[in-house]
Amino acid sequence: MSGCVFCDIVAGREPASRVYEDEAALAFMNLRQANPGHVLVVPRAHLVTLDQLPPDIAARLFQAVVLVARAVRHCFAPDGLSVWQSNGIAAGQAIFHVHVHVFPRRAGDGFLSVYPELPPREERATLDRLAVQLRAAIPSPP
C-alpha cells in the first residue's frame, strides 16, 4: 500500500534490519531501541488492525512472534519480555499496519506501565454479563 512505511519495508523500498521472514510475516528491528532487542513483527499483507486479520495470517503472524521472542530471550537474556499490539489512536497505534512489539525487559526499566494504578476487582455478575455479550459476538467455528 502506498504511503505505509511497513508496506514499503515489506516490499524492500525502505531499509530495515530484518530478523525473520516467511511468506506471511516479516520481523525487523524497531528504530527505537529503548532496550536492545526491540523487534516489530508485521504481516506482509496491509491490514490496519488485529481484528482484520484472516485466521491463517493471524496464525502465521503469531508463529513468527513466538520465534522472535525465543531469539530475543536467547540473544539478550532479558529479565522479562513484553509482547503487545495496539489498535487505533486511543491505544497508541502510530503506524496503521498491524504490528506486534517484542520488547525485552530489564527489572526496573520503567517502561510499559499498563495501569496508572491497579483498578478494583469487578463483581462476578458483571464479569459474567460481559462474557455473555462477548460470546454472542464470536462466530462458531466452521
State the CATH number of the domain containing residue 84: 3.30.428.10
- Tally of structural domains, the chain: 1
Is residue 25 included in any domain, yes or no? Answer: yes
Is residue 135 included in any domain, yes or no? Answer: no
Is residue 134 included in any domain, yes or no? Answer: no
Residue 139's alpha-carbon distances to 29, 62, 115, in angstroms, are 36, 21, 31
At residue 9, the 3 state secondary structure works out as helix
**What is the Cα–Cα distance from 11 to 5, expressed in whole angstroms?**
10
Is residue 129 included in any domain, yes or no? Answer: no
Per-residue pLDDT of the chain (142 residues; tens, 9 = 90+): 668 999 999 999 999 999 999 999 999 999 999 999 999 999 999 999 999 999 999 999 999 999 999 999 999 999 999 999 999 999 999 999 999 999 999 999 988 777 777 788 999 999 999 999 999 998 887 6
Question: Rg of the chain's alpha carbons, rounded to an integer?
Answer: 17
- The count of other CB atoms within 10 Å of the CB of residue 49 is 15
Instruction: Provide the domain limits for residue 59.
Output: 5-114
97 in catalytic set: no
Q: Which residues pair with 43 in a beta bridge?
A: 25
Q: Catalytic one among 46, 97, 99, 101?
A: 99
